[in-house]
Protein backbone atom coordinates (compact mmCIF):
# COMPACT_ATOMS: atom_id res chain seq x y z
CA UNK A 1 0.00 0.00 0.00
CA UNK A 2 1.54 3.29 -1.07
CA UNK A 3 1.77 6.18 1.33
CA UNK A 4 0.69 9.75 0.82
CA UNK A 5 3.23 12.53 1.13
CA UNK A 6 1.65 13.60 4.43
CA UNK A 7 2.38 10.17 5.94
CA UNK A 8 6.14 10.49 5.37
CA UNK A 9 6.77 11.87 8.86
CA UNK A 10 10.04 10.16 9.76
CA UNK A 11 13.44 11.30 8.54
CA UNK A 12 15.90 8.49 7.78
CA UNK A 13 19.47 8.29 6.55
CA UNK A 14 20.41 5.82 3.83
CA UNK A 15 23.88 4.51 4.48
CA UNK A 16 26.37 2.28 2.67
CA UNK A 17 29.78 0.99 3.67
CA UNK A 18 32.67 2.72 1.96
CA UNK A 19 35.68 0.84 0.67
CA UNK A 20 38.99 1.70 2.31
CA UNK A 21 42.54 0.59 1.64
CA UNK A 22 43.87 -1.77 4.32
CA UNK A 23 47.41 -0.52 3.86
CA UNK A 24 48.41 -3.52 1.77
CA UNK A 25 46.72 -2.50 -1.47
CA UNK A 26 43.43 -4.30 -0.73
CA UNK A 27 40.06 -2.65 -0.51
CA UNK A 28 38.02 -3.67 2.52
CA UNK A 29 34.66 -2.59 3.91
CA UNK A 30 35.01 0.56 5.96
CA UNK A 31 32.51 2.52 8.05
CA UNK A 32 28.97 3.31 6.97
CA UNK A 33 28.49 6.73 5.37
CA UNK A 34 25.23 8.55 4.71
CA UNK A 35 24.41 8.81 1.01
CA UNK A 36 21.00 10.46 1.32
CA UNK A 37 18.46 11.67 3.87
CA UNK A 38 14.81 11.10 2.96
CA UNK A 39 11.38 11.11 4.58
CA UNK A 40 9.71 7.78 5.28
CA UNK A 41 6.73 6.02 6.77
CA UNK A 42 7.24 3.07 9.17
CA UNK A 43 4.73 0.24 9.37
CA UNK A 44 5.73 -2.16 12.14
CA UNK A 45 4.90 -5.79 11.43
CA UNK A 46 2.75 -7.74 13.88
CA UNK A 47 1.40 -11.26 14.17
CA UNK A 48 2.91 -14.23 12.37
CA UNK A 49 4.97 -16.82 14.18
CA UNK A 50 8.23 -15.66 12.60
CA UNK A 51 7.61 -12.02 13.60
CA UNK A 52 6.78 -13.02 17.18
CA UNK A 53 9.86 -15.24 17.38
CA UNK A 54 12.00 -12.35 16.11
CA UNK A 55 10.59 -10.03 18.77
CA UNK A 56 11.56 -12.52 21.47
CA UNK A 57 15.10 -12.37 20.07
CA UNK A 58 15.06 -8.56 20.20
CA UNK A 59 14.42 -8.01 16.47
CA UNK A 60 11.83 -5.55 15.15
CA UNK A 61 10.74 -5.89 11.49
CA UNK A 62 9.06 -3.01 9.66
CA UNK A 63 8.04 -1.94 6.18
CA UNK A 64 9.63 1.44 5.46
CA UNK A 65 7.94 3.34 2.61
CA UNK A 66 9.90 6.04 0.75
CA UNK A 67 9.42 7.98 -2.45
CA UNK A 68 11.25 6.49 -5.39
CA UNK A 69 14.08 8.80 -6.43
CA UNK A 70 17.58 8.63 -7.84
CA UNK A 71 18.90 8.20 -4.30
CA UNK A 72 16.44 5.49 -3.21
CA UNK A 73 16.62 3.48 -6.45
CA UNK A 74 20.32 2.82 -5.81
CA UNK A 75 19.52 1.02 -2.55
CA UNK A 76 20.52 -2.62 -2.17
CA UNK A 77 20.39 -5.04 0.75
CA UNK A 78 24.02 -4.17 1.57
CA UNK A 79 22.89 -0.68 2.67
CA UNK A 80 21.28 0.18 5.98
CA UNK A 81 18.82 2.71 7.36
CA UNK A 82 19.69 4.94 10.30
CA UNK A 83 16.64 6.24 12.16
CA UNK A 84 16.88 8.09 15.49
CA UNK A 85 20.39 6.74 15.97
CA UNK A 86 19.33 3.12 15.47
CA UNK A 87 20.55 0.98 12.57
CA UNK A 88 18.08 -1.05 10.51
CA UNK A 89 19.29 -3.75 8.12
CA UNK A 90 17.61 -3.82 4.72
CA UNK A 91 16.23 -7.28 3.90
CA UNK A 92 14.39 -6.55 0.64
CA UNK A 93 13.24 -3.66 -1.56
CA UNK A 94 10.12 -3.71 -3.72
CA UNK A 95 8.17 -1.41 -6.00
CA UNK A 96 4.64 -2.21 -4.74
CA UNK A 97 2.62 -1.00 -7.71
CA UNK A 98 5.22 -1.16 -10.49
CA UNK A 99 4.91 2.58 -11.19
CA UNK A 100 8.28 3.59 -9.72
CA UNK A 101 6.59 6.14 -7.44
CA UNK A 102 7.18 4.42 -4.08
CA UNK A 103 9.56 1.84 -2.68
CA UNK A 104 8.77 -0.48 0.21
CA UNK A 105 11.79 -1.63 2.19
CA UNK A 106 11.59 -4.60 4.51
CA UNK A 107 13.97 -3.59 7.31
CA UNK A 108 14.91 -5.16 10.61
CA UNK A 109 16.27 -3.54 13.75
CA UNK A 110 18.19 -5.44 16.40
CA UNK A 111 20.42 -7.57 14.22
CA UNK A 112 24.14 -7.40 13.58
CA UNK A 113 25.26 -5.14 10.71
pLDDT tens-digit series, residues 53-76: 655 567 889 999 999 999 999 999
pLDDT of residue 110: 80
- pLDDT above 90 covers what percent of the chain? 62
- Taken in order of first residue, the domains within the chain and their CATH numbers are 5-109 (2.40.10.270)
pTM of the model: 0.82
Low-confidence ranges of the chain (pLDDT < 70): 1-2, 47-57, 112-113
Spacing of C-alpha 99 from chain mean position = 20
Please report, for residues 27, 34, 99, 103, the alpha-carbon distance to residue 65 in angstroms, rounded to integers and kept in the order given: 33, 18, 14, 6
pLDDT of residue 4: 78
Question: Which of 46-55 are b and which e, b meaning 16 or more Cβ less than 10 Å from the residue's Cβ?
Answer: eeeeeeeebe
Residue 42: beta bridge partners?
Answer: 64
Amino acid sequence: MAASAAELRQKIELQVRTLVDDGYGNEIAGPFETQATVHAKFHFLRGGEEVMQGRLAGKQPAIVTVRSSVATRTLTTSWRILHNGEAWNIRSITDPDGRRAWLEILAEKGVAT
